[in-house]
Amino acid sequence: MATSIYQCLTRITAAITENKDFLTELDREIGDADHGLNMARGFAAVLEKVPQEEPDFGVVLKKVGMTLLSTVGGASGPLYGTAYMEAAKVAAGKTEITADLFDEMLGAAIAGIERRGKAVRGEKTMLDALIPAKDAFAEKVAKGASFVEALDAACAAAEEGVAFTKTIAATKGRAAYLGERSIGHQDPGATSATLMLESIRDYVKG
């Protein structure tokens, strides 16, 4: 399919901006009430800094990662920055997206977050949305599903992952200070990660 990565980033930015207050409210419950603000600021900068006509996914995603790293701040800036920069490495030289490439990019992004955040699944972070999403995506692709079908499955798994974060205590990031008191609240980072996946799915659906 013909892909405009800039158009896709526009979708992500719109979703993050529309949900800015929601994300910030989630972070108010178990953090410091800045996640939506941080992310909206970061993606606004992304749209300004990324060259609109650049076709190479690797070049674009590297710029996205560097911009998020320098503008988002907090825990999520370095984490999402790393995720996009790791995805950039596997997408270098590519100008079309395929299910296999997306699977690799998602895997690289997750590995980057795990390494940078010293985190694993089950600690009430963005990984609790992204890892099940990647697993669901790969499973669908292996069964011969289309890219869009696999993205639908990934989004459904990410949403389940967000719901799961309500049931567990945080052991990473600011929310970990609350310990058991973080139970009952959904993780802001898992929520923003899900919004990104849904935006990508909606973009690919057209």
Q: Please enumerate in sequence order all residues whose Cβ is within 8 A of that of 80, keeping only pairs 6 or more positions apart, or say none.
A: 39, 42, 65, 68, 72, 126
Task: Point out which residues bind ligand ATP (CB under 6 A).
Answer: 27, 31-32, 34-35, 38, 74-76, 79, 113, 117-119, 125-127, 172-174, 187-190
Rounded least distance, CB 145 to ligand ATP, Å? 28
27 binds Mg ion per the rule CB under 5 A: yes
Q: Which is nearer to ligand ATP, 4 or 177 (by Cβ)?
A: 177
What CA–CA distance (Å, rounded) separates 69 from 75?
10
Nearest approach in angstroms of CB 31 to ligand ATP is 5
Helix, strand, coil shares of the chain as percentages rounded to 5? 75, 0, 25
End-to-end Cα spacing for the chain: 11
Is 187 a binding residue for Mg ion by CB under 5 A? The answer is: no
31 forms part of the interface with Mg ion (CB under 5 A): yes
Which parts of this chain interact with Mg ion (CB under 5 A)? 27, 31-32, 34-35
